[in-house]
């Protein structure tokens, strides 16, 4: 899948994408637009301000749409060496949307390792993306 198909919103310094693995319903990531952005603590002041604004907007949208119980955040850069943060909604109970049941199999534990076998169709990914986009 082309990343631009799951682009939710573009900001001045960041882009927000839907993560293609929706084992955690509503999982998104915030991607720094600056090409030489690698380390979380090297954000510029402008990037920091916008980053926290975006985070609050995403939490508000996800809360309205899916009512997560808590959120996990991951800024690792082990696999993709670029500044980005995953926002991972966590759910004590199942959620159902578009005829699919989403179960947080690791509730009350670290979100990783995630279930890499959980898949939704491209059509459902786009529907989830569009829902979140409509709230931002």
Considering only the top CATH level, what class is 3-135?
alpha beta
Q: What is the pLDDT of residues 37-77, one digit of tens each?
A: 999 999 999 999 999 999 999 999 999 999 999 999 999 88
- 55-66: b (≥16 Cβ within 10 Å) or e: beebeebbeebb
Host H or E run for residue 18:
strand 14-18
Q: Pairing mode, if any, of strands 14-18 and 28-32?
A: antiparallel
CA gap 109, 112 in Å, rounded: 8
pLDDT digits (tens, 9 = 90+) for 110-128: 999 888 889 999 999 999 9
CA 46 to chain centre: 21
**Full-model pTM:** 0.95
Domain extents for the chain? 3-135
């Amino acid at each position: 899948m082309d990343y631009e198909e799951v682009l939710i919103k573009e900001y001045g310094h960041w882009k927000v994408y839907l993560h293609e693995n929706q084992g955690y319903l509503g999982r998104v990531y915030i991607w720094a637009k600056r090409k030489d952005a690698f380390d979380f603590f090297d954000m510029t002041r402008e990037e920091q301000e916008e980053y926290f604004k975006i985070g609050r907007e995403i939490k508000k949208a996800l809360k309205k749409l899916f009512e997560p119980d808590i959120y996990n955040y991951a800024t690792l850069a082990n696999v993709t060496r670029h500044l980005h943060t995953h926002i991972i909604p966590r759910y004590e109970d199942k959620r159902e949307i578009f005829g699919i049941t989403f179960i947080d199999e690791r509730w009350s534990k670290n979100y990783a390792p995630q279930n890499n076998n959980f898949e939704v169709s491209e059509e459902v990914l786009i529907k989830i993306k569009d829902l979140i986009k409509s709230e931002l």
